[in-house]
Amino acid sequence: MSKVFFKKITHEGLLKQPDCLVKGLEIAGIAEDFKKDKFVGLKIHFGEKGNKSYINPNFLIPLSNFLRRKQTRPFLFETNTLYHGERMNAVDHMNLAYGHGFAKTNMPIIIADGLKGDDYIEVEIDKKHFKTCFLARALKDTDFLLVLSHLTGHMLTGFGAAIKNLGMGCAARRGKLAQHCEMRPVVNDKRCILCGLCMKSCPVSAIEKDSTKCFIVKDKCIGCAQCISVCPRDAINVIWSEEYNLIGEKLAEYACAVTRNIKCAYVNFCLYITKECDCMNKEEAGFVKDIGLLFSYDPVAIDKASIDLAQKQENRDVIRDAHPKIDYLNHLHYAQVLGLGSMDYELVEI
Ligand code: SF4
Ligand code: SF4
C-alpha cells in the first residue's frame, strides 16, 4: 500500500502560505531526493493562452528558493503540444509561460522535446500497445522529475492528473500522436454553423467544407482533439467505442516508459478544479471546491486519492457527472497492471 500525504488547503490559502508546498515535500520525504548539483526538473503545464486555472507560479517561488538552497539545478520542464495553439513550438511556448508569470519563479524553462517537438529518445517497453515510446530528449539528462499536476476533468480520459502529466506530458510530438491515433471525431451538421474555426485549428488540414456542411477526412485525421475544443457550437463529437478508451491504456504505457527512465515524485494540486483541462484556451469556473495538495512517490495512488477526495467532498461521482461516457478509472487500473503503482493507498493528513 502506498502512502499519499494530504495537506488540506484552498487556492487562496496556498497563495497566502506557499511554504506549504515545501513543507509537504519534506514531510513526504521527497525533499531528500533534491541532491546537490543534480538537474531537478519540475514537470509543469503553463496553461494555454486565455486559460486561468493552471498552477499559479506564485506557488512555486518558495520551492525554487528551497531547491537553490539545496544547491540543485532546478528548472521548469514542459513539452510542446500536438495541436495548434501557443504551445506548439518552444519559442511561443516560453513566451506564453513568461506571459503567465513563470519568470517570477526564477527557474529556467526547458522545453524538453526541442524547438519544434521532434527531439526525442526511444525507450523500449514491449507492452500491449507499444514496443517503443518516444519521449522528450531532456528526460535522458534529468536526474529527478517532480511532477506537478493540476487535477482537472478531461475530454479524453475523464480526468487528468499525475499519470496524464507523465504519459502525455513527457512524450515528444511523435509519442503524443501515437497515443491519440484511435480517436476520430465527426461533425454534427445540425449544430454546425460553418464558421471555419475548426479548419483553422486542425494541424493536418483534415477538415474540409462545402456550401452546406463541414466534414472530417478520416484518413487524414490524427485524433488530436483540437477541433473539439475550438468549436463554439459543440458540433464536433467523438464516436465513442471501446477502441476509444484505449487512449487511457496508451497513456499508462507512456507513463511507464517515463518512470523506467527517471526517478519521479508527484504533487497533485487539487485546487481550482475545472471540468476541462488547462489546454483549453478560455477561462473556466471551478466545478469542484478546492481540496488541497497531495504528495506521493506513487502516481496511481496519488491520482486515485485525488479523485476519492473530490468525490467524498462533493458526495457524488464528480468525474462521471462531468464526462459520463468515459471509463475514467481505466487508465489507473491499467497503470496498476503495468506495475506503475497501486490503487490501494494510505492517506496521511499533514
Ligand atoms: S480533424 Fe482530427 S486532426 Fe484535425 S483537429 Fe480534429 S481531431 Fe485533430
Ligand atoms: S468550429 Fe464547429 S461550428 Fe465552426 S465550422 Fe467547425 S464544426 Fe462547424
Most distant CA pair in the chain: distance in Å? 64
Kindly report, residue by residue over 246-300, the tens digit of the pLDDT: 889 999 999 999 999 899 999 999 999 998 888 888 888 889 999 999 999 999 9
> Nearest bound ligand to CA 176?
1
pLDDT above 80: residue 226: no
Give residue 244's pLDDT.
Answer: 60
* Fold type of domain 2-178+244-349: Rossmann fold (3.40.50)
Kindly report, residue by residue over 310-332, the tens digit of the pLDDT: 999 999 999 999 888 888 999 99
Nearest to 305 by CA among 346, 274, 265: 346
Q: Which architecture characterizes domain 185-238 according to CATH?
A: 2-Layer Sandwich (3.30)
Q: Whole-model pTM?
A: 0.85
Instruction: Measure the CA–CA gap between 92 and 256, rounded to whole angstroms.
Output: 29
3-state secondary structure of 230: helix
Sort residue 57 into left (φ over 0), alpha (ψ -120 to 50) or beta.
alpha
Q: How far is CA 217 from each of CA 172, 197, 207, 312, rounded to the nearest angstrom? A: 25, 16, 6, 43
3-state secondary structure of 169: coil
Mean pLDDT of the 178-185 span: 76
| Binding site membership of 202 for ligand 1 (Cβ less than 6 Å) | yes
Range list of β-strands (E), the chain:
2-8, 39-43, 73-78, 109-111, 120-124, 132-136, 144-150, 152-154, 158-160, 185-187, 207-209, 214-216, 236-238, 263-270, 273-274, 286-288, 292-296, 345-349
pLDDT band of 203, cuts 50, 70, 90: confident
pLDDT above 80: residue 228: no
Residue nearest ligand 2's atom 1 by CA: 231
Mean predicted lDDT score pLDDT of the chain: 92
**Structural domain spans, the chain:** 2-178+244-349, 185-238
Cα(227) to centroid(ligand 2), Å: 8
Cα(227) to centroid(ligand 1), Å: 6
Give residue 255's pLDDT.
Answer: 97
Amino acid letter for position 12: E
Closest atom of ligand 2 to 187 CA is 7
| Binding site membership of 63 for ligand 2 (Cβ less than 6 Å) | no
Mean pLDDT of the 225-244 span: 73
Mutate to test the pocket of ligand 2, among 83, 84, 186, 187 (most ligand atoms within 8 A of CB): 187
The answer to whether the beta carbons of residues 244 and 182 sit under 8 Å apart is yes
Cα(156) to centroid(ligand 2), Å: 19
Name 110's bridge partners.
Answer: 77
Kindly report, residue by residue over 114-169, the tens digit of the pLDDT: 998 889 999 999 999 999 999 999 999 999 999 999 999 988 888 999 999 999 99
Q: Cell for 259?
A: 518512470
Residue nearest ligand 2's atom 2 by CA: 231
3-state secondary structure of 336: helix
| Binding site membership of 194 for ligand 2 (Cβ less than 6 Å) | yes
Instruction: Measure the CA–CA gap between 68 and 59, rounded to whole angstroms.
Output: 16
> Nearest bound ligand to CA 228?
1
Instruction: Measure the CA–CA gap between 308 and 255, rounded to whole angstroms.
Output: 21
